[in-house]
Every structure is written in structure tokens, then in C-alpha cells.
Amino acid sequence: MSNAKEYNMEYLMQYLDGEFSTAENMQLESDLSNNIDLQNQLSYLRMAIESVKLGGLNARIATIADEFRNEKPEEAPVIKMKKTRTVSYYALRIAAVFLIAACSYFALLYTTVSQEKLFAEKFVPYEIPASRSGAHGTDLEIFYTQQRFDQVLSLMYPLEDRTQKELFLGGMAAMRSGKPAAAKEMFEKLMEENNKSQDFVYQEDADYYLGLTYVKLGEYDKARNLFLHIEKDPKHSYHSQVSSMDLLKLKILSWKK
Amino acid sequence: MKKGAPISDQELLQLMKEGNEIDDAIRYIYSEYHEGLSSLITYNSGSWEDAQDIIQESILCFIQIVKEGKFRGESSIKTFLYSLTRNIWLNELKKRGRMEKRNKIFEESRDELENSTMDGVEKREANKQLLEILNELGEGCRKILTLFYYENLSMKEILMQTEFENEQVVRNKKHKCLKQLTETISNNPALAENLKRIIK
């Protein structure tokens, strides 16, 4: 390597960390131009530094994601147990009582939970807000408001011609007239259209009601997936409608199937 | 950046390019696009946990693309981010061998833009490999290197955030950790090749 001096990794680190004088920089850059090994060594070092920066950025994203997900309106207070000499004895007794109670409750839940009951508990008929219904609505909206669901469904096909709003109302009309398979088709079509257009119209309503449609059709894993999405997102419009107990019931229904 | 105030794509890109504003940019992306991106995945066979992981990976790739000047603004940020997330998720589904009929239809609906975001999918794969290597480095090394190279803290500031005896010990530790990482990369030609692709 001609007149170039021997460089060790520490020396190259100092160069990359900007700790060199102008003269030292010039010397190194001159040596780099005709030393492939040195170029490679420097290149690997640069990769390592850029990797660290990328890892740092990834960690920041993860932290912000956690903050975002934890932005709940109210946090449950943390209750600290007072420690006493007999705490383990009483704790074990209390735990045993709770365990027995929990097992009994679970057994009761297992035997009593049913598709019909869960659906009835969760289903609330969707009503078009007053300002959007009435004389100024489309035929489809007017039929829906008047609960003439068969007429609504007669206007739905082919689904390709329907707007996202119409697909949602069609899905609701199908649900309310006892046609869950048709409701599923329309809600899924609505979500497909939303994915394509990336304009998430009636998305949160569809999350909830498609979940209920899956319950009605006995597709409990799919229902649970949608309900889990709602339950985990405190900003979802239907967040208060879905509890962890509902998720447990869906899991039980899936086991019983 | 004022909390909750809408900002234009241009302003968001500017925030992403300026290192000290990147947190605001990430927060804004989460507040604006998290719900839709999450639905995109949960509706297409993904769990809630899948959605959180994929969104995080997608945002990381997007920031890299912007920083490299490869986001040309031919589509909106929203459209690009959805396409990127969709491609990353499809790729993940393929890897898991869980491509259902509905997802195949979803895949076939790709447009020109989506194909252009495939670069992001490659980045995601390389990023995963790289983050694994960083994890193997250990918590202590990761912390000191991140504080120096990502947070741009001086040795004195790092000393205050760690339990080392003095600045020289911090400096030695940092050198040792970076050397270890550099050697891991140089001893793994496949990894080095992948890194060349994701690092400008």
C-alpha cells in the first residue's frame, strides 16, 4: 500500500465521528483512494453506524406506537396491597377462593353462552341519523328508514354499482331481515371497496356489524378478530360496545363448535 | 407542531427529513393512518397484533424511502403508505403460506403504484435481519451506540444516562461495541449485501 499508513478500526471510527483535523482527513482520504481493503473496512464501519441509526429509529417508532395505543381516556388506578406477616397465607386463601369462583363462573359461562344470546346482547339496529333520512334521502335510504328491507335489497344488485354507504345500508337491511349470508357479502364488499379507494367510509360501523354477521354465521374466529381490533383501539367508535368478556365468549363458542 | 392540527403532505415530508422533528411526524402518521392501515390487515386475515407489527415496519420503511429521496410525491402519502403496507402484508402472508382466495383477489388488485412500493418490501426483509443482529449485540451496547449515533449525545451526556465511571470508559465501551457490530457485518457477506441495499 505504498506510503499509506496502517489504520486500525479505532482510527477510522474517529474519522467517521468527525474527530479529525482537516489535515488528518485529507491524509486518510488520499490513502483511501488507492487502498481497497481500507475502503472495505470503512464501508463496513459506515454500515454498522447506519444500522445503529436504523435501530434507533425503529425503537422510536415502537415507543410512539405504544404511547398512541395507550392513550386511553381513563386509566384504572393501581392498588398496592399492604404487606403483612401473614400475607402469603391470606393471599393463598383469597386466591383459592377466587380460583374456585372463577372456575365456577367459567363453567357456567361455558354451558350458558350461545350464539343467539351473544348476538341478541350485541345487536343494536343501525338507524340513519335524522338529518340524513326523510324526504331528501335516496330511495334506498327512504326504504331503509321505513324498514322496508326487501325493497332495499331489491335495489342492491349488482353490488359493483353500489356506493360504500349503500353497501353498508344493504348489509344492515340483510341483517335485519334475517339474511346473514347476504349481509356478509355486502359488508365484505364494502371493506374491499374501502381498501381499494383507501377512503374508509362506514369502516368502523362495518367492523362491528360484520363481526356480528360472522357470529350469526358461526364464523367465530373471524368475529373475534374484528372484535379484538375494536376492543384494542380506544378510539374506535364501537370500542365501548366490545368487552374482553365478549372476546372470551367468542373463544368459548369457537371451542364448542 | 400543534397537536391535532392537520398538516399537508409537504409539511409532513419536511418533518420526516428534519431529524429533530421525526417524532412529531411519526405521531402524526399514527394518528391519521393507524385506523385504516389496521383495518387493511385485520380484514385480510391478520390479527390485531399482526397489524401493529406490520404498521410499525411499514412506517420504518416509509421514513427510509423519504430520507433517501425516493418518495417522489407522484401519489399522496396516504396512498403510498397504504400500498406499501398492503405489499408488506401480502409478502408476509405468502411467507406464512396463508394465502386465501380472498387475499389472492386482494393481491391481484395491485396497481402500478403498488409495484413501485416493492422496494419497501425488500427493505423490510433486510431491516428485520438487521434488527435481529442489533438485538444480539446486547442491551448495553445497543443503548450506548443509539445514544451516540441516533440521539447524537456527547460522551458527557451519555455518561449522565449510564452508570459508567467516566467519559473514557464510555468511549472505550462505544468503540468496543461498534467494532463488534462491524465485525459481525463484515463476517456475513449476505448481510452486508442486504445492508448495501437498504443503507444509502
Each residue's pLDDT tens digit, B82-109: 989 988 998 888 888 765 555 555 565 5
- Cα-trace Rg, chain A: 31
Of the residues B89, B119, B149, the one at which a domain ends: B119
Nearest alpha-carbon partner for A203 in B50, B42, B85: B42
- What is the share, in percent, of chain A residues with pLDDT greater than 70? 87
Residue A240's pLDDT is: 86
Residues A53, A134 within the same domain:
no
What pLDDT, in 10s, does the model give residues B122-134?
788 888 888 888 8
Q: What is the dihedral of CA A114, A116, A120, A123, to 10 degrees?
A: 100
Chain A residue closest in CA terms to B186: A44
How sure is the predictor about A161, in pLDDT bands with cuts at 50, 70 and 90? confident
Residues A59, A139 within the same domain:
no
| Helices and strands in chain B: count of H runs, count of E runs | 11, 0
Nearest alpha-carbon partner for B14 in B6, B4, B3, B24: B24
**Could you tell me the residue range of the domain that residue A232 belongs to?**
115-256
Residues B35, B109 within the same domain:
yes
CB-CB contact of B175 with B168 (8 Å): no
Question: Is B164 a residue whose pLDDT tops 70?
Answer: yes
For residue A40, count other CB atoms closer than 10 A to its CB.
12
Which of A45, A58, A167 is the best residue to mutate to test the B interface, defined by the most B CB atoms within 10 Å of its own CB?
A: A58
Residue B96's pLDDT is: 82
- B-contacting residues of A 156-215, CB under 8 Å? 188, 191-192, 194-196, 198, 200, 203-204, 207
Residue A80's pLDDT is: 39
Residue B43's pLDDT is: 83
Residue B114's pLDDT is: 56
Residues B184, B96 within the same domain:
no
Chain A residue closest in CA terms to B19: A57
CB contact under 8 A, A54 and B60: yes
Of A44, A204, A225, the CB nearest to B42: A225
Residue A72's pLDDT is: 43
Indicate the range of A245-249, B67-71, B151-155 predicted with least confidence.
B67-71
Residues B5, B85 within the same domain:
yes
How sure is the predictor about B183, in pLDDT bands with cuts at 50, 70 and 90? very high
Residues B93, B43 within the same domain:
yes
Residue B105's pLDDT is: 56
B199 belongs to a structural domain: yes
Nearest alpha-carbon partner for A160 in A193, A195, A138: A193
Block residue for cell numbers 335489497:
A153
Q: Is A11 on the interface with B (CB under 8 A)?
A: no
Question: Is B172 a residue whose pLDDT tops 80?
Answer: yes
CB contact under 8 A, A68 and B27: yes
Of A51, A62, A226, the CB nearest to B130: A51
Nearest alpha-carbon partner for B148 in A8, A29, A16, A42: A16
Residues A186, A62 within the same domain:
no
Number of domains in chain B: 2
CATH of the domain at A209: 1.25.40.10
What secondary structure does DSSP assign to B90-104, as a single string? HHHHHHHT---HHHH
Residue B200's pLDDT is: 57
Residues B110, B164 within the same domain:
no
How sure is the predictor about A217, in pLDDT bands with cuts at 50, 70 and 90? very high
CB contact under 8 A, A56 and B175: no
Chain B residue closest in CA terms to A211: B43
A52 belongs to a structural domain: yes
Residues B22, B86 within the same domain:
yes
Among A32-46, A138-152, A196-210, B48-62, the range of highest mean pLDDT? B48-62
A39 belongs to a structural domain: yes
Number of domains in chain A: 2
CB contact under 8 A, A51 and B185: yes
Chain B residue closest in CA terms to A195: B40
Indicate the range of A59-73, B19-33, B59-73 predicted with least confidence.
A59-73
- Helix/strand/coil for A161: helix
- ipTM exceeds 0.85, yes or no: yes
Q: Is A83 on the interface with B (CB under 8 A)?
A: no
A110 belongs to a structural domain: no
Q: Is A239 on the interface with B (CB under 8 A)?
A: no
Residue A155's pLDDT is: 87
Residues A49, A148 within the same domain:
no
Of B30, B47, B199, the CB nearest to A64: B30
- What is the share, in percent, of chain B residues with pLDDT greater than 70? 85
Of the residues B119, B147, B166, the one at which a domain ends: B119
Nearest alpha-carbon partner for A180 in A190, A191, A195, A170: A170
Residues A165, A251 within the same domain:
yes
Residue A76's pLDDT is: 36
Please tell me the distance from the alpha carbon of residue A194 to that of residue B109, in angstroms, as a whole number. 13
B72 belongs to a structural domain: yes
Residues B101, B39 within the same domain:
yes
**What are the CA-CA distances from residue B34 to residues A73, A229, B28, B31, B80 (Å)?**
18, 12, 10, 6, 14
How sure is the predictor about A1, in pLDDT bands with cuts at 50, 70 and 90? very low
Question: Is A173 a residue whose pLDDT tops 50?
Answer: yes
Block residue for cell numbers 479505532:
A10
Residues A120, A47 within the same domain:
no
Residues A47, A162 within the same domain:
no
Mean pLDDT over each residue of chain B, to the nearest integer: 84
Question: Is A163 a residue whose pLDDT tops 70?
Answer: yes
**Mean pLDDT across A36-48:** 89
CB contact under 8 A, A60 and B48: no
What pLDDT, in 10s, does the model give residues B139-155?
899 999 999 999 999 99
B124 belongs to a structural domain: no
Chain B residue closest in CA terms to A46: B182
Q: What distance in Å separates residue A195's CA from the closest CA in chain B?
A: 6
Residue B28's pLDDT is: 93
B125 belongs to a structural domain: no
Residue A131's pLDDT is: 59
Q: Is A56 on the interface with B (CB under 8 A)?
A: yes
**Could you tell me the residue range of the domain that residue B142 belongs to?**
137-200
Residues B109, B39 within the same domain:
yes
A93 belongs to a structural domain: no
Question: Is B2 a residue whose pLDDT tops 60?
Answer: no
Indicate the range of A62-71, A87-96, A119-128, A218-227 predicted with least confidence.
A87-96
Residue B6's pLDDT is: 77
A178 belongs to a structural domain: yes
B127 belongs to a structural domain: no
A87 belongs to a structural domain: no
CATH of the domain at B114: 1.10.1740.10
Residue B58's pLDDT is: 95
Chain B residue closest in CA terms to A227: B48
Residues B27, B80 within the same domain:
yes
CB-CB contact of B120 with B58 (8 Å): yes
Indicate the range of A80-84, A108-112, B53-57 predicted with least confidence.
A80-84
Measured between beta carbons, which residues in chain B are less than 8 angstroms from residue A9? 175, 179, 182
Residues in CB range of A208: below 8 A, 6 or more apart: A226, A230, A238, A241, A242
